[in-house]
Amino acid sequence: MYSTPYHTTDISQYTFLVTGGAGFIGSNIVEYLLKYGAKKVRVLDNFATGSHNNIEEFKSNPAFELLVGDIRDLETCKRALEGADYVSHQAALGSVPRSINDPITSNDVNISGFLNMLVAARDTGVKRLVYAASSSTYGDHPGLPKVEDKIGNPLSPYAVTKYVNELYASVFSKTYDFHTIGLRYFNVFGPKQNPNGPYAAVIPLFIEAAIESKASYINGDGETSRDFTFVENAVQANVKALLTTGINKHEVINIAFGERTTLNQLWNRIINIAGITLSPEYREERKGDVRHSLADISKANELIGYKPEFSVLEGLGIAYSWYEEHITKRKSPSLDSN
C-alpha cells in the first residue's frame, strides 16, 4: 500500500500529530507519513480502542513518537501539540450501537475531547487541523447522493456528536480565525480494522466469517446500501487536506468512493474472493442505522484534489489478503475498531 505519493510538499521538515494514531485509520495515516519521510510523527492515543499491534512496526523508527494520553484532558492535548505543525484528529469513539448503549462516554470523548483539541491547536498555532467527521451527520435526509450542505436530523447519539464537531469547528473559524477541515468519512474499511468485539464494522466481520467458512449475520434484508471506502482513499484525503493551501474558512467534505454497495452484494463479493459458496443469516435491523448512503465527492475533488484510487472490489481484495495473514494471529482484541 501507499506506493503512490499523494503530496508534493517536502514533509521532512514538519512534525505531525495523529490523535487516535493507534487506531484503524490513524495508524494507516501514520504509516503513510513515516514512509514518505516526515520529520516526526507523534501519536496520541489512550488505547481504549486502539492497539499497540497497529503501531508496533513504527516503534523502531526514530521519527515516530508515542504519547499515551486522553483527549479528554486539555493539558494532555497541549503537550501532544508541542512543536506540531499539522494535526490529523482521528481520536473518537466510533459506532452507532456503542453510542446508543453509552451516550455519555461518546459525548465526553467525541465532543469534549474534540473541543480540547480545537482549543489546544488554536493556542499553539498549528498550520492545519483536519478532523474525522462522519456521514452519519446526514441523518434522516433522504436525498442521494449526499451533498455537504443538505443534512437531516441525527439518528443516533454518535451522529449528534459528529455534527456538534462541525458546529464547533465552524464557530472557531468565524470567531478565532482558526480554520479546520472536516472529512465526512463514508464506511471506511481496510487493513488494521478490528473484526473482534461487539462494535466491529461489517466488512471485517464478513471477511473473518468467509475465512473461517462460517455464515455471517446481515442486519435486515441485506438491501441496505453503503458507500464503502477503502482506507487508502481516506489516507489520501487526509494528506491532501492537511497540506492544502488557500482554504481560509472551515470546510466539510465527503470522503467516499462514490458508489453504492448493498450488504448482499458485499457478502457475495467477499465469498467470491474466498472461493466459497455460503449463505448469510438475516436478523433484525439495528437501531439508528440509515437505510441508504451514497456520497457526492465533487467538493473534495474541487477543494483538495481528492480522487479515490481504489474501488470497493480492489479494496476488498487487499483487505482480504491482509486479514488472511493476520486473523489467525489475532483472536484476542488486538486490532482497532474506530
Among candidate residues 6, 32, 86, 158, the one labeled active-site is 158
User: Pairing between strand 188-189 and 180-185?
Assistant: unpaired
Residue 158 annotated in active site: yes
Give first-to-last CA distance, the chain, whole Å: 20
> Which residues partner with 130 through β-bridges?
88, 181
Residue 191: what are its φ and ψ, rounded to 5°? Answer: -55, 140
The candidate with the shortest Cα–Cα distance to 155, out of 286, 297, 338, is 286
Per-residue CA distances from 185 to 191, 200, 275, 327 (Å): 16, 16, 30, 25
Residue found by looking up cell 493539558 in the block: 75
Please say whether the beta carbons of 144 and 94 come within 8 A: no
The number of CA neighbours under 13 Å toward the Cβ of 267 is: 23
Please say whether the beta carbons of 305 and 241 come within 8 A: no
Q: Which residues are catalytic?
A: 158
